Amino acid sequence: MQPTVPPVTPSAPEVATRATNGSSASTARVIPPATGEKTGAEIFIDGLLREGVEMIWGYPGGAVIHIYDALYGSPIKHILVRHEQGAVHMADGYARSTGKVGVCLVTSGPGATNTVTGLANAYMDSIPVVVFTGQVPRHLIGNDAFQEADIVGITRPCTKHNFLVSRFEDLPRIMEEAFFLARTGRPGPVLVDIPKDLQAMKGPYKFPGGVKLRGYNPNLSGHVGQVKKAADLILQAQRPVLYTGGGVVLSGASAELTTLARSLSLPVTNTLMGLGAYPGNDPQFLGMLGMHGTYAANMAMDQADLLIAVGARFDDRVTGNVARFSLGSKKIHIDIDPTSISKNVRVDVPIVGDVADVLQKLNAELGRRGVTAAQHAQSIAPWLEQLATWQRTQPISYSQPDSNDVKPQYVIEQIWEATKERDAIISTEVGQHQMWTAQFYKFLRPRRWLTSGGLGTMGFGFPAAIGAALGNPDALSLCVAGDASFVMNMQELSTAVQYGVPVKVAIINNGFMGMVRQWQELFHGERYSEVNVQIQPDFVKLAEACGAKGGRARTAAEVPLLIKQMLETPGPFIGDFVVNKGENVYPMVPTGKGLADMILV
């Protein structure tokens, strides 16, 4: 942790809205009837309204033209994107930041294939998104018809489930199932492919008004016997660590996690996906762990005698070399998805269930044991002292520049300073800037940190920030972008301008694909192969060309001024922060190494 972190006054973390899409929708909402006689396109609109959908992201085309016709004048707000990948990332950013299901509508063929990266991205991070694709009329399926693509086949491995609607009467049921699957259990993206002829066809329909799927019964309730075993281990351990991930955010279990950590003075580290689930400025917080985690967090994992893994999946970026991963520890693993358990690392006490449910039970069980936080802190005192020493001697830090150069880490610190009093949603692209943001920004609440963790998708952050801004009109939505990543979906600037979305982009402009350059510097003998992206648009002019505003900072002194300007200017704004080219992200666990083999600064 930074020694400069202000003293903690942790407010209880907000319990994130559970993924109950629509429950928060205004009471004035009209719910369309469950039965009647309508066209497929009209039934589709009704299906969205019945799910409480207020906003969708999409792009029209021949195979969804009937649906776009039915959308015309409907109460659903449609955001016209500039590329279908942007639509899925926006829906994803909306879902991450609100807890609701994000919805997209695109045409067949290229429209559908353009959603694949967005789906894979949402799949890896377990984000509830439903993508509706038009399909060629049923009689043409399989004929290599114009704009035909087997999108159900293509997206099978990157969706939680997908459907081809093959009968008119199935449409209402499939719509209900799609939303149900997306938001329940371990959430994830679902795709529904709707042939054009079904959209035009008119007939009687019936929404079942409830989903029953024989083969889908996620186990939400944690096993009490296992919870007791976990409690035993926790109280016996001398060197425990809570290692928590995105599952805590998805389950809305921040309050329960905080209670657990505080009730026994347990140290906490978060994965990249888990940031914000535990207050980032809390003294018990060790920072992020893994490849670019803090020294204290990684050493804690390495030296612990008990890992309490909560909604985390022992990803390779977290464990480093698994053969050397936390060899001296027992492991408790709480996760809703049985496939996550004992996948990479053998676990001693698995507990399958919704994280919030399991933590409530665990907190109750520990409460009955009657050990106070102070008593427990006493009994694990040598460990807590050790952790404090690691934090003090090896905080996340960077060297101050000798010139007027702008250090990228400094920009992030300044963004934190300027936004810490606000309800800020911070998204990132992928690369060094992403890691610096994870390290230097303090996330205090869940659903305020949007980053592509599993897939590592450059081009995610900016559209995700637009989606988050649309879903949280009272919050500040700011994307920290790399200069290379930003151009991958910069066309969405026009979308932001069209809808007056006050999204802010801070480009950490190092003129390189910095993260790849770092690897080439450290592991490939400084042979900088194709990582130079110095021919880029002038981002300030680009902003202006799209009808947005922009500004540039070249010196450290200009940085806070540009941030201020960015935050005070209404509407979309691009801040181009020209930073040191050669800066690297540290600490770093090289691939194949154990967590304790970190390269420090």
Partner 1 sequence: MMADTQIQKNAFNEPEERQTLVSPVRRHTIAVTVENEFGVLARVAGLFSGRGYNLESLSVAETLEPGVSRITLTTSGTDLVIEQITKQLNRLINVLKVVDLTDLVRIDRELVLIKVAAESASARDEVTRAVEVFRAKIIDAWPRGYVIEATGDAAKLKGLIDLLRPLGIKEVVRTGQVAIARGDAGGL
Q: Which is nearer to partner 1, 558 or 597 (CB)?
A: 597
Q: Is 84 a catalytic residue?
A: yes
Cα–Cα distance measured from residue 475 to residue 480, given in angstroms and rounded to the nearest whole number = 16
Cα–Cα distance measured from residue 135 to residue 40, given in angstroms and rounded to the nearest whole number = 13
From the list partner 1, ligand TPP, none, which binds 485 (C-beta under 5 to 8 Å, kind-based)? ligand TPP
Q: Is 146 a catalytic residue?
A: yes
Contact with ligand TPP (CB under 6 A): which of 112, 194, 458, 464? 458
Q: Shortest distance, CB of residue 346 to ligand TPP, whole angstroms?
A: 30
SS3 306: strand
For residue 345, state whether it binds partner 1 (rule: CB under 8 A).
yes
Contact with ligand TPP (CB under 6 A): which of 485, 489, 495, 520? 485
Using the contact rule CB under 8 A, the part of the chain among 18-26, 52-60, 320-328, 470-478 near partner 1 is 320-328
Which letter does DSSP use for residue 371 in this model?
-
Contact with partner 1 (CB under 8 A): which of 14, 305, 423, 558? 305
Using the contact rule CB under 6 A, the part of the chain among 411-419, 451-459, 553-561, 589-597 near ligand TPP is 451-459
From the list partner 1, ligand TPP, none, which binds 510 (C-beta under 5 to 8 Å, kind-based)? ligand TPP
Using the contact rule CB under 8 A, the part of the chain among 18-26, 273-281, 330-338, 438-446 near partner 1 is 330-338
Q: Shortest distance, CB of residue 325 to ligand TPP, whole angstroms?
A: 24
For residue 505, state whether it binds ligand TPP (rule: CB under 6 A).
no
For residue 6, state whether it binds partner 1 (rule: CB under 8 A).
no
Q: Which is nearer to ligand TPP, 356 or 458 (CB)?
A: 458
For residue 228, state whether it binds partner 1 (rule: CB under 8 A).
no
From the list partner 1, ligand TPP, none, which binds 516 (C-beta under 5 to 8 Å, kind-based)? ligand TPP
Catalytic residue among 273, 488, 513, 515: 515
For residue 138, state whether it binds partner 1 (rule: CB under 8 A).
no
Q: How many CA atoms lie within 13 A of 236 on its CB side?
A: 11
Q: How many CA atoms lie within 13 A of 76 on its CB side?
A: 31
Contact with partner 1 (CB under 8 A): which of 5, 65, 141, 152? 152
For residue 329, state whether it binds partner 1 (rule: CB under 8 A).
yes
Q: Which is nearer to partner 1, 31 or 601 (CB)?
A: 601
Catalytic residue among 54, 84, 176, 177: 84
Q: Shortest distance, CB of residue 255 to partner 1, whole angstroms?
A: 29
Contact with ligand TPP (CB under 6 A): which of 469, 508, 546, 562? 508
The values of phi and psi at residue 133, to 5°, are: -120, 140
From the list partner 1, ligand TPP, none, which binds 284 (C-beta under 5 to 8 Å, kind-based)? none
For residue 600, state whether it binds partner 1 (rule: CB under 8 A).
yes
Cα–Cα distance measured from residue 307 to residue 329, given in angstroms and rounded to the nearest whole number = 6
Using the contact rule CB under 8 A, the part of the chain among 59-67, 210-218, 466-474, 557-565 near partner 1 is 210-218
Q: Are 13 and 255 in contact (CB under 8 A)?
A: yes
Q: Is 512 a catalytic residue?
A: no
Cα–Cα distance measured from residue 374 to residue 518, given in angstroms and rounded to the nearest whole number = 44
Distances (CA, A) of 258 to 14, 282, 472: 11, 10, 24
Contact with ligand TPP (CB under 6 A): which of 315, 429, 576, 583? 429
Q: Is 515 a catalytic residue?
A: yes
- Tokens of residue 43, six digits: 């039934």
Contact with partner 1 (CB under 8 A): which of 23, 24, 236, 555? 236
From the list partner 1, ligand TPP, none, which binds 577 (C-beta under 5 to 8 Å, kind-based)? none
Using the contact rule CB under 6 A, the part of the chain among 323-331, 427-435, 463-471, 587-595 near ligand TPP is 427-435
Distances (CA, A) of 322 to 155, 237, 246, 595: 30, 22, 20, 9
Distances (CA, A) of 571 to 124, 152, 381, 546: 31, 38, 51, 12
Contact with ligand TPP (CB under 6 A): which of 513, 556, 563, 589? 513
Q: Shortest distance, CB of residue 297 to partner 1, whole angstroms?
A: 12
The alpha carbons of the chain give a radius of gyration, in whole angstroms, of 24
Q: Are 215 and 51 in contact (CB under 8 A)?
A: no
Cα–Cα distance measured from residue 390 to residue 392, given in angstroms and rounded to the nearest whole number = 5
Burial class (CB in 10 A: 0-12, 13-18, 19+), 143: exposed
The values of phi and psi at residue 239, to 5°, are: -135, 65
Cα–Cα distance measured from residue 83 to residue 111, given in angstroms and rounded to the nearest whole number = 8
Distances (CA, A) of 202 to 65, 138, 220, 289: 15, 15, 40, 55
From the list partner 1, ligand TPP, none, which binds 483 (C-beta under 5 to 8 Å, kind-based)? ligand TPP
The values of phi and psi at residue 207, to 5°, are: -80, 125
Contact with partner 1 (CB under 8 A): which of 55, 289, 306, 438? 306
Cα–Cα distance measured from residue 533 to residue 512, given in angstroms and rounded to the nearest whole number = 5
Starting at the earlier edge strand, list the strands of the sheet with 240-244.
285-288, 268-270, 240-244, 306-310, 330-335, 349-352
Q: Is 147 a catalytic residue?
A: yes
User: Residues of 197-218 as b/e, b for ≥16 C-beta within 10 angstroms?
Assistant: bbbebeeebebeeeeeeeeeee
Q: Are 108 and 81 in contact (CB under 8 A)?
A: no
Using the contact rule CB under 6 A, the part of the chain among 64-72, 218-226, 442-450, 456-464 near ligand TPP is 456-464
User: Residues of 272-289 as b/e, b for ≥16 C-beta within 10 angstroms?
Assistant: bbbbbbbbbbbebbbbbb
Q: Which is nearer to ligand TPP, 63 or 579 (CB)?
A: 579
Of 500, 570, 477, 571, which is closest to residue 94 (Cα–Cα)? 477
Catalytic residue among 38, 100, 160, 196: 196
Cα–Cα distance measured from residue 192 to residue 131, given in angstroms and rounded to the nearest whole number = 6
Which residues are known to be catalytic? 84, 146-147, 196, 515
Interface ranges with partner 1 (CB under 8 A): 152-153, 156-157, 160-161, 164, 166, 181, 213-216, 233, 236-239, 295, 299, 302-303, 305-306, 323, 327-330, 337-339, 342-343, 345-346, 596-600
Interface ranges with ligand TPP (CB under 6 A): 429-433, 456-459, 482-485, 508, 510, 512-516
